[in-house]
A and B are shown apart, each in its own frame.
Chain A
Amino acid sequence: MKKDRIAVAMSGGVDSSVAAALLKNQGHDIFGLMLRLWSEPGQDNKGQNRCCSPASVSRARQVAAILDIPFFVIDSRKEFHQNVVQFFIDKYSAGVTPNPCLECNRNIRWGHLMHKALSMGATRIATGHYARIIQNKDKWQLLRGCDNSKDQSYALSMLGQSDLRRTLFPIGSYTKNKIRSLANDFDLPVAQRQDSQDLCFLADKDYRRFMHDYAPESLNPGPIMNTSGETLGQHKGLPLYTIGQRKGIGVSAPEPLYVLSKNQSNNTLIVDKIDKLGKSHLKAKKVNWISGTSTEHKIRAKVQIRYTAKAVGAWIKPIDDNEVEVEFDHQINDITPGQAAVFYQDSVCLGGGIID
């Protein structure tokens, strides 16, 4: 019988390189795929997406040569631009703070790349994410990676059963340090490389400059008000501000002011002192339940509102199949519309939704 074939998403970085090496060592029939993604032309990145610069391509190809596996670059620039970059522009223009990594995972990695991998005879894909997948009876579960500081399950919370059963996360049970030392053991020339970057398609790290260049029509000046309705100044366009932001608001006040919310309907930026920032509930839409079935009753979970935030105890109340209300045990800062709220029970990721 023919062994099943696995496509490994390779970036030239240490994580995906070690993922490939581990699978190869276990005797799997593997090949490497790398996505060529859209990137803003010019400036300091020379028109290269930071995730897939020529240097990364040649590094990944070098790793593939060491492992003696086929390796191909898939041109996903068009798909990436449509699904991730345009999404990013649209969401910022609409006044929320999008998470392009989730969208990339949904549409590009578990979309375009998965599709290509299957068409090339693979039965599964593997990536270098810090997360784990286990089969529990007839269900596939997504678990946090064992290295807490590197866990990437947040950005994978939109995966479903059909994704998980076709996916491997070979490095999910290791710590980053262990991965670095494994890279050394495997003689892979990758150990000093930086982690992949989010907002990989920007020429610099400045999304505000990007919005000026690519969606100037979305930047309409308007009033800055506090919660009592007093006008404090003028903002330069709502997309340029993020919930919780303190610096660069452009209003001087005796006590530091924070961005509390953005009122898109009257183009108003609401700011106030830190004690007004906290909230104890949120509504999430486009909810994905990894198990494939939503909960009927309210459940206890820990909810994480940003990639780097700590998960906080909460009740999750279903509104319908796609919407939930989250009631936190205590107030938390920086609940940001457009970011994902991701639900956990212990290390099991139940899924998540987009904060409304």
Chain B
Amino acid sequence: MDKQIYMDHAATTPVDPEVLEAMLPLFTNEYGNPSSIHRWGQRADYAITTAREEIAEVLRCEADEIIFTSCGSESDNLALRGIALEARELGKGNHLIVSAIEHPAILRTAQQLQNHHGFDITILPVDQHGLTSPRDLKTVIQPDTFLVSIMYANNEIGVVQPISDLAAITHEHNILFHSDAVQAAGQLPLDVETLGVDLMSVSAHKFYGPKGVGLLYAKRDTLTHSQQTGGSQENGLRAGTQNVPLIVGMATALKIVVARQQNDNSKMKTLRDRLIKAVLETISDSILTGHRTCRLPNNASFAFEGIDGNELIMHLDLLNVAASSGSACKTGNPEPSNVLTALALSPKLSLGSLRLSLGRDTNDSDIEYLQQVLPKVINNMRGTP
């Protein structure tokens, strides 16, 4: 079999074998419902309580400030809708601010709050590198703003926002601050004290944990309204029997990723910088999208003039390379994403985006292979020899 190079870790990561091992007994032997009174329930409850405490230690928060959910999108939905409902009820305001490069889980939720529930939203623009500026934020805050939501690190272009500065300004106006940290988790510090966030979304499958589980950090007393109603699990903020194996898997994965973080990051950064340098040097009419330094260690994202990003992904797949594009979607609808649009790239560039995202096992020979094939593919597609 030919070499397969997975360069799409921003889409998802494989489950760490140690994580899998931690989860397996919870499917079959320890199958109790954490809400049950008997010892089966007690053991399951113990498993998720331990997981909650382990995660709280990483986030440097209280265990009861963590709400387990089914994914990052659900966490985003819960944060925005929950806070909006409460603001409505208590008359705390009617206006929320989100950045222009948020994940659709934030953008579409905010749009729905605007279109169907009468909230006002302001979309905070970003500069050509995708950075939001604290000064701009200051100018769009209104007396009735109740929430600011700005993502920690962007999924497409890897730009990392100055979260603590943005949060500080928000707090000066007594407004809550949420951050979608789904893409950042695993590579950047999640210490909520230092970041200054009131709410933060995380998803396990971005850091070698299982799919189907995420969490919302919500500072005590900030979130009082659930979205999914029913039983009183998760302090009444998220009804439904907890997914014990996946929650334990998420905690295990987080512990491992934090322990390895420094080493993995510096290794990925070295490889990534070599890749970025090679691409920009060998491929004409190419740019690095996002910020040169305020950037996730594993993200190398580009735009190539005159290239259909969708097709580029197909060519790379045929060369056994998994990558993705903000201009691509698997059912074939080539339109630039809201992120690329927000960067105000020329149309010629914005349809030709490519995201290569490294993982902890990406190695020298993977990068070398890409250095070889990528210029060839681009030249072929451009019809230049």
Contact = CB atoms under 8 A, between A and B. Distances in A.
14 contacts: A5-B318, A31-B318, A36-B331, A36-B332, A54-B331, A61-B330, A72-B317, A72-B332, A74-B332, A75-B332, A75-B333, A120-B314, A120-B315, A120-B318
Interface in A113-140: 119-121
A345 B333 CA distance: 44
List of 5 A-B pairs having minimum Cβ-Cβ separation, nearest first: A73-B332, A75-B332, A72-B314, A70-B317, A36-B332
Interface string A249-288: 0000000000000000000000000000000000000000
A57 interface: yes
Interface in B320-365: 330-334
Contacts of B333: 75
Interface in A1-52: 5, 31, 36
A57 B333 CA distance: 13
A61 B317 CA distance: 14
Contacts of A31: 318
A119 B308 CA distance: 13
A300 B269 CA distance: 74
Contacts of A74: 332
Main secondary structure of the interface of B (DSSP, over half): helix
A196 to B, nearest CB: 18
Interface of B: 310-311, 314-315, 317-318, 330-334, 380-381
Contacts of B334: 75
A230 to B, nearest CB: 55
B318 A70 contact: yes
A72 B329 CA distance: 10
B304 to A, nearest CB: 16
Contacts of A36: 331-332
Interface string A55-81: 001000100000000101111000000
Nearest to B315: A120
A73 B317 contact: no
A74 B311 CA distance: 9
A191 to B, nearest CB: 24
Nearest to A29: B318
A74 B315 CA distance: 13
> Max chain A CB contacts within 10 Å: which of B315, B317, B332?
B332
Contacts of A61: 330
Contacts of B331: 36, 54, 57, 73
Contacts of A120: 311, 314-315, 318
A247 B315 CA distance: 53
A348 B333 CA distance: 40
B85 to A, nearest CB: 32
B330 A121 contact: no
Nearest to A116: B311
Contacts of A72: 314, 317, 332
> Max chain B CB contacts within 10 Å: which of A72, A74, A119?
A72
B332 A70 contact: no
Contact of A73 (B315, B318, B330, B381): B330
B92 to A, nearest CB: 41
A216 B58 CA distance: 67
A344 B254 CA distance: 69
A57 B332 CA distance: 10
Contacts of B315: 120-121
A61 B331 CA distance: 10
B111 to A, nearest CB: 22
A5 B2 CA distance: 15
Contacts of A119: 380-381
A73 B313 CA distance: 12
> Max chain A CB contacts within 10 Å: which of B310, B318, B330, B334?
B318
B332 to A, nearest CB: 4
A266 to B, nearest CB: 47
B318 A121 contact: yes
Contacts of A5: 318
A145 B294 CA distance: 61
A298 B180 CA distance: 76
Contacts of B381: 119
Interface string A142-174: 000000000000000000000000000000000
Nearest to A5: B318
Contacts of B311: 120
Contacts of A121: 315, 318
A5 B314 CA distance: 14
A253 to B, nearest CB: 52
A75 B331 CA distance: 8
A198 to B, nearest CB: 22
Contacts of B330: 61, 73
Nearest to A36: B332
Nearest to B383: A119
Contacts of B314: 70, 72, 120
Contacts of B310: 75
Interface in A302-327: none
A112 to B, nearest CB: 12
A54 B333 CA distance: 13
B31 to A, nearest CB: 30
A258 to B, nearest CB: 44
A31 B331 CA distance: 16
A133 to B, nearest CB: 25
A72 to B, nearest CB: 5
A5 B317 CA distance: 14
A137 B311 CA distance: 38
A75 B314 CA distance: 13
A54 B334 CA distance: 16
A332 to B, nearest CB: 43
Interface in A100-121: 119-121
B151 to A, nearest CB: 29
